[in-house]
Structure 1
Amino acid sequence: MTFNRPRLTASLYALMSISVWGVSFVSTKAVLVKLDPFSLLVIRFGIGALFLLLLLLLQRHRLYISIKYVPHLMVLGILGVFVHQVLQATALLTINASAAGWLISFSPIFTVILSLLFLHEKMNITKAVGMVLAVTGVLIVTSTRSGQSIQFAMNIGFLLMILSTLNWAVYSVLLKSLKIPYPPLVVTFYMCLLGLILTTPFIIRNRGWENLTLLDHSEWAHLLFLGVFVSGIAYWYWGRALEVLEASKVSMFLYLEPIATLVAAVLLLQEKVLLISVLGGIIIIIGVVIVNGQLVPILLRFLKK
């Protein structure tokens, strides 16, 4: 059996995206103290679109998009950028960052179902075992973060976050199935630009720019991180991963998102880490590796050394 370098590279892209998105909940929560969700998103999309445009110019990509694919980009931009980010930012007004981090881990379940229905991807025993392990790890990490079980509150934030996971699953399947023949960087730029266009009327209505003067240096740093890394690089890398891997396999990396959120919460909010949480994180990683078919190649390489 040979080691599949393209699939490993795609897996690394997905892992980097998830790591950034996991931290994004902490950054978003920090900025929402002074900005409303739409004002936050306008600044974030604006920074992201400018950053991606600079990357496109540096790499000399053509900005031309055939009129044939404009509807595709609009659907992806509305679902994957505008709707998704509005749902999450609004949800974070009533739930904490940690809860958001683990709620998003439900998305792979929706993605697998949609992939089976529309992309004709197959479910096998190995993938099923990996999913069970990953779900088990998520439950361990999230139910023991504070030393006690998480209590579910059926509030609007909880419902919006669950809805965002279904929305993200639809976006991932569409991004894979539409097969837009342009580089992921170009596609990501236009989706981010569309997000900026769609949210701008709301900051005008709410006069959100008036609160920008209230932000301190740390909050502007959070906004720069959200714009450059979360709206820019992470979406770009997610698209590159979907070029190689099945949508259901890429979505499995969302199980790692609670770990990234946990690490960010420890570093930025000084939360405590329990040993059982570390064990849950290891189980998540093993489950994701199994689902992506990389466990056997990794073991073989290790045994050959």
Structure 2
Amino acid sequence: MDWIKKHRWLFFGLCTLLTWGVWGEFSELIEHEGFPSNYVYVVWAFSMVPCAVVALWLAGWTLDYSPRALLLGMSAGFLGAGGQLVLFEALRFGPAYIVFPVVSMSPIVTIALSLGLLHESANRIQRFGIVIALAAIFFLSWQDGAHDKAVKGGLWLVLAAVVFVAWGVQGYIMKFANASMRAESIFFYMMLTGLILVPVALCMAGPRDTAVDTELWVKGFFTQMLNSIGALTLVYAYRYGKAIIISPMQGLAPLITMVLSLLIFAVVPGPMLSVGLVLAVIALVALSMEKTE
């Protein structure tokens, strides 16, 4: 417990890393079972509700509702949830193997804004870890496109760039907002904006010819609950840690997904993913070093 109190940013950052990594593995399994990808957003939005209730309970049922809190909280929410919807559109025009490497580099935006506007700094080892983490994120997001769909024009790049900027700015706002409002309130507004955009997600999904089994809906909900828990611990990580460290660290979640695939299903990663795995381990160790220069 003493270690957690002393290293809260690292504890919550690792919680996000773990939950998002496990979520990545189970989300693939659910998709293979036939859960429609178009409805993933809807399930995710509602899975945020119980996490928001727990967060408010931890805050003594106190919610920041000043105009500033509303602006910051809703901005973080719309950038995150809206970015997900734009990502779905990007995947309609471009295959995943070229879209995800662009989107995954959003921590660059967070780092740039935090360095320029918040004047954050890191020690020499952590700066090394940031660079290695960004390289690891790129390799971990690499997907084989040999049998993927063809690229449809250049709209995919515009949409991917929108997500890249939106998620990068969201990370900065989450850190900036933590200086003037409770982390629990930030997450509540993230949940609220996620629900507000559910009708948009349903319109984008369109009608389906076949019904989805109740069991799949339940599995999908609890799978997305891992995503929501990771989002909550990420807000806490930004409260206690520097954005230039937390942002690249959360992008290393595919490391956990790869390890689970290797241990459970004996799926051996290809050369690109293997490089990403090694770099991710090095980056995590370096980012965790708090020794001052």
Task: Report the TM range for the smaller structure's normalisation.
Answer: 0.7 to 0.9
Matched position secondary structure for 2:61? coil
- AA paired with 2:115? L
Q: Deviations over 1:125-183 (max 9, x none)?
A: 4344223323444455556x6599x9x95754454334323211101111111236554
Flag the 1:64–1:263 CA change in 2: closer, same or farther, 3 A: same
Provide structure 1 residue ranges, at least 5 long, that are not aligned to the other structure: 298-305
Answering whether residue 226 of structure 2 is matched by residue 224 of structure 1, we say no
1:184 aligns with 183
Paired residues in the alignment total: 285
Flag the 1:217–1:41 CA change in 2: closer, same or farther, 3 A: same
The answer to which of 117-126 and 247-256 deviates more is 117-126
Matched position secondary structure for 2:253? helix
1:166 aligns with 165
2:129 aligns with 130
Provide structure 2 residue ranges, at least 5 long, that are not aligned to the other structure: none
Flag the 1:70–1:122 CA change in 2: closer, same or farther, 3 A: same
Flag the 1:184–1:32 CA change in 2: closer, same or farther, 3 A: farther
> For the residues of structure 1 that align with 2:18 and 2:250, how far apart are their CA atoms?
11
Structure 1 residue 281: deviation in Å?
0.9
Asked if structure 2 preserves the Cα contact closer than 8 Å seen for 1:133 and 1:287, the reply is yes
- AA paired with 2:71? P
Asked if structure 2 preserves the Cα contact closer than 8 Å seen for 1:101 and 1:258, the reply is no
Asked if structure 1 preserves the Cα contact closer than 8 Å seen for 2:17 and 2:256, the reply is no
> For the residues of structure 2 that align with 1:222 and 1:100, how far apart are their CA atoms?
27
> For the residues of structure 2 that align with 1:269 and 1:104, how far apart are their CA atoms?
27
Structure 1 residue 106: deviation in Å?
0.8
TM superposition score normalised by structure 1 = 0.72
Structure 1 residue 75: deviation in Å?
1.4
Asked if structure 2 preserves the Cα contact closer than 8 Å seen for 1:115 and 1:248, the reply is yes
Matched position secondary structure for 1:19? helix
- AA paired with 1:16? L
1:242 aligns with 238
Greater helix percent: which structure?
A: 1
Structure 1 residue 15: deviation in Å?
2.1
- AA paired with 2:212? L
Report 1:1-305 matches (<5 A): 4-19=6-21, 22-23=24-25, 26=28, 34=36, 36=38, 39-49=39-49, 51-56=50-55, 59=58, 61-68=60-67, 69-81=69-81, 83-93=82-92, 102-122=101-121, 125-138=124-137, 140-141=139-140, 155-179=154-178, 181-200=180-199, 203=202, 211=208, 214-216=211-213, 219-230=216-227, 232-262=228-258, 272-274=268-270, 277-294=273-290
Structure 1 residue 86: deviation in Å?
0.9
Asked if structure 1 preserves the Cα contact closer than 8 Å seen for 2:140 and 2:277, the reply is yes
Structure 1 residue 101: deviation in Å?
5.4
- AA paired with 2:187? T
Flag the 1:279–1:214 CA change in 2: closer, same or farther, 3 A: same
Asked if structure 2 preserves the Cα contact closer than 8 Å seen for 1:116 and 1:123, the reply is no
Structure 1 residue 114: deviation in Å?
1.2
Flag the 1:32–1:110 CA change in 2: closer, same or farther, 3 A: farther
The answer to which of 159-168 and 264-273 deviates more is 264-273
Q: Deviations over 1:203-238 (max 9, x none)?
A: 3x5795x649622366424521354221x2111100
> What do you get for the CA RMSD once the two structures are aligned?
4.1
Q: Deviations over 1:67-95 (max 9, x none)?
A: 332222221221122x1221233334455
Q: Deviations over 1:17-45 (max 9, x none)?
A: 54256448737966997463xx5423431
Structure 1 residue 240: deviation in Å?
0.6
Matched position secondary structure for 1:234? helix
Matched position secondary structure for 1:120? coil
Asked if structure 1 preserves the Cα contact closer than 8 Å seen for 2:249 and 2:284, the reply is yes
Asked if structure 2 preserves the Cα contact closer than 8 Å seen for 1:131 and 1:291, the reply is yes
Asked if structure 1 preserves the Cα contact closer than 8 Å seen for 2:104 and 2:251, the reply is yes
Matched position secondary structure for 1:200? helix
> For the residues of structure 2 that align with 1:104 and 1:261, how far apart are their CA atoms?
18
Flag the 1:94–1:216 CA change in 2: closer, same or farther, 3 A: farther
> For the residues of structure 1 that align with 2:283 and 2:177, how far apart are their CA atoms?
28
> For the residues of structure 2 that align with 1:259 and 1:288, how far apart are their CA atoms?
10
